[in-house]
């Protein structure tokens, strides 16, 4: 095990992720409980994270002294370097040369940390984010790398196996960073790769058992990958102590609710209650065209319905949520200031405190692609795991203006044809997200010598890494023509199709 002492950096989880990618198990513990964790875990190596704090401030966090006296390798990153220096007899000062972003590291000396990656005399891109800097290194250390703003950007005491870097090797903007972390865990700490998604699964199952005991657990299943994987893990851990509830708000895609129910009931034998609440949702949405009010109505009704069902079950002690690491980090504002609400996101699982349930969050440490890998490990079919994201408020936000059953039916059919064409053309996996939007606009057309006056359907497809920014997908016109023709021919109520060529920003991916 590698113990990662968290001093509150935004990217501590990335350190854990890189260590996992090296096939090694790690545990992140907040600095306050690091001493206790160190005793309990008896790690083979320790990594000290970055931090928003300054070592110069009185009462700023420190690593437990045992970390440096146990004879095991220690790697300090950013603040981790500074506290290591401060604790071992070096000096840190408030930096005059603050460095944020891209910087270049000159390799001054060969080191086990750089072995096979960076050679003496070469220069490499790294990512910096620091205000303070080390000005004097402790006895036993020597400089192995420097940057313009940090003369002690990388230092090492090879004898004691203490290493420290001012830059962040865990972020992708330090292109070779993952290799340095591999060197640290494999070559320096001598830990072999034996950590896999299977091991993660076993570990998570055990942790759920420990947390839940004999308690009763419920889970809001949406049909998305995250809640599905969270539910399956929990079911594996505690069997029928878990009940899943799928609220069908009538805003899902064609056959979606039925498919999800079939998969979980038949294939996984998961206790699952399907609640058809579509009338309630759709009648509340009828006549409401303000996007935020629509989102809020859906969020509120979802909670109401879910609470009612939970009550029918006699309540529960725990609620399973498919929270991922990016959800955790996004909820802690990076700038510290309040940011503007673009859209009120509604996700299944965002349930109110008054329900008084403790949360089970087995995916809290994972990133999306790791959840997919875990889903595969749990036997979920590729077609399910690789599905495009689908928003909690469903088709309601793809139907600008008031939502009616008729409009939803038209949209559902157009969407199904569009996605069918995308799959047939072999484009599904190249596109991050694709869907149809039904505009509340009717236009004139001519079909079979007659006049038509029907709705416009907009097609959307984007490429993206994380949904935060996106570009429209560059189809060839043949494809668009084919999809448009089929939609107009096969879907009653649509006589015109347009393609959305807006990127994000300035557009958002969804239309509302």
Q: Per the residue annotation, which of 168, 235, 249, 346 is the catalytic one?
A: 168
Residue 341 CB neighbour total at 10 angstroms: 8
Shortest Cβ 346–ligand XMP spacing (Å): 4
Shortest Cβ 43–ligand XMP spacing (Å): 37
Tell me: cis bond preceding 464? Omega within 30 of 0 counts. no
Compare residues 344 and 442 and give the one whose CB is closer to ligand XMP: 344
Compare residues 323 and 433 and give the one whose CB is closer to ligand XMP: 433
Task: Kindly state the helix (H) or strand (E) to which residue 130 belongs, with its residue range.
Answer: strand 123-136
Nearest CA among 328, 345, 368 for reference residue 225: 368
Shortest Cβ 416–ligand XMP spacing (Å): 17
Out of 79, 433, 491, 497, name the contact with ligand XMP by CB under 6 A.
433
Shortest Cβ 348–ligand XMP spacing (Å): 8
DSSP 299-364: HHHHHHHHHHHHHHTT--SEEE----HHHHHHHS-SSSSPPP-SS----TT---GGG--EEE-TTT
Binding letters toward ligand XMP, positions 290-329, x by CB under 6 A: ----------------------------------------
Note whether 93 and 56 are within 8 A (CB): yes
Nearest CA among 76, 63, 42, 70 for reference residue 162: 76
Tell me: cis bond preceding 241? Omega within 30 of 0 counts. no
187: left (phi over 0), alpha (psi -120 to 50) or beta: alpha
Nearest CA among 18, 16, 34, 14 for reference residue 26: 16
Q: Per the residue annotation, which of 53, 78, 361, 512 is the catalytic one?
A: 78
Binding letters toward ligand XMP, positions 211-240, x by CB under 6 A: ------------------------------
Size of the site for ligand XMP (CB under 6 A): 14
Annotation marks residue 219 as catalytic: no
Q: CA geometry: angle at 98 spanning 94 and 100, to 5°?
A: 140
Compare residues 91 and 504 and give the one whose CB is closer to ligand XMP: 504
Q: Does 166 bind ligand XMP (CB under 6 A)?
A: no
Instruction: Name the segment binding ligand XMP (CB under 6 A); options: 15-23, 60-68, 274-282, 386-394.
Output: 386-394
Q: Per the residue annotation, which of 170, 309, 370, 512 is the catalytic one?
A: 170
Compare residues 34 and 247 and give the one whose CB is closer to ligand XMP: 247
Structure tokens at 49: 């994270």
CA distance 319 to 362: 11
- Cite the annotated binding site by residue number: 222-228
Shortest Cβ 199–ligand XMP spacing (Å): 29
Compare residues 200 and 390 and give the one whose CB is closer to ligand XMP: 390
Residue 507 CB neighbour total at 10 angstroms: 15
- Cite the annotated binding site for ATP by residue number: 222-228
Annotation marks residue 388 as catalytic: no
- Enumerate residues 336-375 that contact ligand XMP by CB under 6 A: 343, 345-347
Structure tokens at 211: 């947390």
Shortest Cβ 4–ligand XMP spacing (Å): 29
Shortest Cβ 392–ligand XMP spacing (Å): 4
CA distance 41 to 33: 12
Compare residues 138 and 394 and give the one whose CB is closer to ligand XMP: 394
φ and ψ of 372, to 5 deg: -60, -45
Contact partners, residue 226, CB within 8 Å, separation at least 6: 322, 323, 324, 363, 371
Out of 393, 411, 414, 438, name the contact with ligand XMP by CB under 6 A.
393
Shortest Cβ 372–ligand XMP spacing (Å): 15
Provide the 3-class DSSP secondary structure of residue 451: strand
* End-to-end Cα distance, the chain: 46
CA distance 178 to 395: 40
CA distance 14 to 6: 11
Structure tokens at 350: 């965002």
Q: Does 504 bind ligand XMP (CB under 6 A)?
A: yes
For the chain, counts of helices (H) and of strands (E) = 15, 18
Nearest CA among 324, 272, 238, 426 for reference residue 13: 324
φ and ψ of 436, to 5 deg: -100, 150
Number of residues assigned to the chain: 512
Compare residues 326 and 389 and give the one whose CB is closer to ligand XMP: 389
Compare residues 6 and 415 and give the one whose CB is closer to ligand XMP: 415
Out of 392, 439, 475, 483, name the contact with ligand XMP by CB under 6 A.
392
Out of 467, 479, 498, 499, name the contact with ligand XMP by CB under 6 A.
467
Compare residues 86 and 470 and give the one whose CB is closer to ligand XMP: 470
Out of 271, 389, 402, 445, name the contact with ligand XMP by CB under 6 A.
389
Annotation marks residue 78 as catalytic: yes
Binding letters toward ligand XMP, positions 396-425, x by CB under 6 A: ------------------------------
Shortest Cβ 450–ligand XMP spacing (Å): 37
Q: Which residues are catalytic?
A: 78, 168, 170
Enumerate binding residues for ligand XMP (CB under 6 A).
Answer: 343, 345-347, 389, 391-393, 433, 467, 504, 508-510
């Amino acid at each position: 095990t590698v113990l990662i002492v968290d001093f509150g950096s935004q990217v501590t989880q990335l350190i854990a992720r890189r260590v996992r990618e090296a096939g090694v198990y790690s545990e992140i513990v907040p600095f306050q409980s690091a001493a206790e964790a160190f005793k309990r875990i008896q790690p083979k190596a320790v990594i000290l994270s970055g931090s928003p704090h300054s070592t110069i401030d009185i009462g700023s966090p420190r690593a437990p002294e045992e970390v440096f006296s146990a004879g095991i390798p220690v790697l300090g990153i950013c603040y981790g370097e500074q506290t290591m220096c401060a604790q071992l007899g070096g000096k840190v000062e408030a930096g005059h040369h603050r460095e944020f972003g891209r910087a270049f590291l000159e390799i001054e000396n060969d080191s086990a940390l750089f072995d096979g990656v960076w050679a003496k005399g070469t220069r490499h891109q790294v990512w910096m984010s620091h205000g303070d800097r080390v000005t004097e290194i402790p006895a036993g250390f020597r400089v192995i790398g420097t940057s313009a703003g940090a003369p002690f950007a990388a230092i090492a005491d090879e004898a004691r196996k203490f290493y420290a870097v001012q830059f962040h090797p865990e972020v992708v903007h330090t292109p070779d960073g993952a290799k340095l972390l591999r060197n640290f865990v494999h070559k320096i700490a001598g830990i072999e790769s034996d950590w896999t998604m299977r091991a993660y699964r076993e570990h998570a199952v055990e942790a759920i058992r420990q947390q839940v005991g004999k308690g009763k657990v419920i889970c809001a299943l949406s049909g998305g990958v995250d809640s599905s994987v969270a539910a399956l893990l929990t079911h594996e851990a505690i069997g029928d102590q878990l009940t899943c509830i799928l609220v069908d708000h009538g805003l899902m895609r064609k056959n979606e609710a039925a498919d999800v129910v079939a998969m979980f009931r038949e294939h996984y034998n998961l206790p699952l209650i399907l609640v058809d609440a579509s009338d309630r949702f759709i009648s509340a949405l009828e006549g409401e065209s303000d996007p935020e009010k629509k989102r809020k109505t859906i969020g509120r009704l979802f909670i109401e319905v879910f609470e009612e069902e939970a009550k029918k079950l006699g309540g529960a002690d725990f609620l399973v949520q498919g929270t991922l690491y990016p959800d955790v980090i996004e909820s802690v504002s990076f700038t510290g200031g309040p940011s503007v609400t673009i859209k009120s996101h509604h996700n299944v699982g965002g349930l109110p405190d008054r329900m008084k349930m403790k949360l089970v969050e087995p995916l809290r440490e994972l990133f999306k692609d790791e959840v997919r890998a875990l889903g595969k490990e749990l036997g979920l079919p590729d077609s399910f795991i690789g599905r495009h994201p689908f928003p909690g408020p469903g088709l309601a936000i793809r139907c600008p203006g008031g939502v009616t059953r008729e409009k939803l039916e038209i949209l559902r059919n157009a969407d199904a044809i569009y996605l069918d064409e995308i799959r047939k053309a072999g484009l599904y996996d190249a596109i991050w997200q694709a869907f149809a939007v039904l505009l509340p606009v009717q236009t004139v057309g001519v079909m079979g010598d007659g006049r038509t006056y029907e709705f416009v359907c907009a097609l959307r497809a984007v490429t993206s890494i994380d949904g935060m920014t996106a570009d429209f997908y560059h189809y060839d016109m043949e494809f668009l023509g084919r999809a448009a023709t089929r939609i107009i021919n096969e879907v009653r109520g649509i006589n015109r199709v347009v393609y959305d060529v807006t990127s994000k920003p300035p557009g958002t991916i969804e239309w509302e």
